[in-house]
Structure 1
């Protein structure tokens, strides 16, 4: 049953999307995929092989980006960020997180259906549906991905429910410049069997030194969310009307926090709140 369901979903995205050349003009969409239906961390070895590089598992002090200065450009200066925020992104493995979730009543039934049929089974994009789902907290693990020259080209950030050990998210983080763009974007790819979901987030800094990451509405080739399917010797991609905002800030008590909102077109779908603290604390 699940095999036919997954194949049907990929077939839908092939029809809805456009043909892309991931080795040519559309290489900005080249990203890890999973070779098996259950994602978890199964994609890591294949990605290292594709890049001709190596993996550094359970990296101590490893970050989602080697330096936030990689994003410097119009509308963004890493030097203007609060130092706690820079430290989190550059040394993510040194931080632990607690999370709370809330769902829009309008989208909760659809989210629950997707979670039951898909997210929990494949252990990817399995958004927590109820506050008690994350009552015991969330663990995370960072694996650095290096190219043949030893330079960090990506970082896998896996998040697991502390109570069950089940994967919730498994994403590959890097910085990329979209074709014709004047700025760098934070690129996050969530591998799936024979494809992935990708988000390109535009960074900016508030007057208080907080970080905003946004995937706004726009055209194909601009910041936003994409679904890519690689199957039958070809690749197809479609831009989807999912929009995200991350607000990473230090509260008046000196605690690092993140507000994450996911929207479908103009309506909010789910909101996540993260409390972040250094492990030695």
Structure 2
């Protein structure tokens, strides 16, 4: 009872600070999966596939978060300038294994711990690791392709769990999406929540060394950045969130693919994560499908 009131109160807050939106019209760019239950996990996948009259497939060999990185090409960005390891990671994500390190700012750690206890671990969603030992043995990841009726990949579910406990850390929907009025597409990530979601629009850029930068700057409503969407009493509301993320994917001097991830609140870094990414010698093969 207390938990359900807490979740309802949270939706009421985002309604109060947000604006009403029309997901079938002007604000279709904010349409993204939501969870029908408080405990998220992977329960949203089938409903998202049904929106395309499609299917969720977990039997796709070498499944990737993005079917073809060239979908991101446009003025100022050319996939051909990226290191091939980076493109391989995004197009064949399930073939890669990750090790993770985490460091919280002392200022934000208490708030992060409170949110993790009150929401993340209970909802099995956005449960950011709080201590280095939480991720000492790494994360396991699973990629589920969301395909339409013709079999074309429209999005991908990336489900990440702690290797030690199997607890969910992130359950996200990844796709390529162009915002209204922008000159090129970016990476869109949605984290379903009960009757809502958190979304991040990331603008890609490449470095001179073939690295990839993904950034969610603090742009106006309708621009790149983070949003919270909530449904309440038959209406849908959206608000910009003061969350800014930066991902830097690069290959180090020893040929290892790495990622530096910084999450900031307003302009202050709150948590930094570092990923070491290694291609599996013998990638696993799942054999499951969930028909919508």
Shorter-chain TM-score range: over 0.9
Q: How does 1:241-260 map to 2 (within 5 A)?
A: 241-260=242-261
- Equivalent residue for 1:176? 177
Separation in 2, partners of 1:45, 1:19: 27
How much has 1:231 moved relative to structure 2?
3.0
Map Cα deviations across residues 92-130 of structure 1 (whole Å, 9 max, x no partner).
010010000000000000000000011000010000000
Map Cα deviations across residues 238-257 of structure 1 (whole Å, 9 max, x no partner).
01111000000000000000
Q: How does 1:1-281 map to 2 (within 5 A)?
A: 1-57=2-58, 59-280=60-281
How much has 1:147 moved relative to structure 2?
1.3
How much has 1:230 moved relative to structure 2?
2.1
SS in 1 for 2:51: helix
Kept after mapping to 1: 8 A contact 2:75/2:184: yes
Kept after mapping to 2: 8 A contact 1:56/1:143: yes
How much has 1:232 moved relative to structure 2?
2.0
What is the aligned-residue RMSD (CA, Å)? 0.9
Unmatched 5+ stretches in structure 2: 283-292
Separation in 1, partners of 2:26, 2:74: 23
SS in 1 for 2:6: helix
Q: Which runs of 4+ in 1 moved over 3 A?
A: none
How much has 1:59 moved relative to structure 2?
3.3
Kept after mapping to 1: 8 A contact 2:125/2:171: yes
SS in 2 for 1:61: coil
SS in 2 for 1:171: strand
Separation in 2, partners of 1:45, 1:218: 32
Count of equivalent residues: 281
SS in 2 for 1:51: coil
Separation in 2, partners of 1:62, 1:133: 27
Separation in 1, partners of 2:47, 2:185: 26
Kept after mapping to 1: 8 A contact 2:12/2:232: no
Unmatched 5+ stretches in structure 1: none
Kept after mapping to 2: 8 A contact 1:58/1:142: no
TM-score (norm 2): 0.95
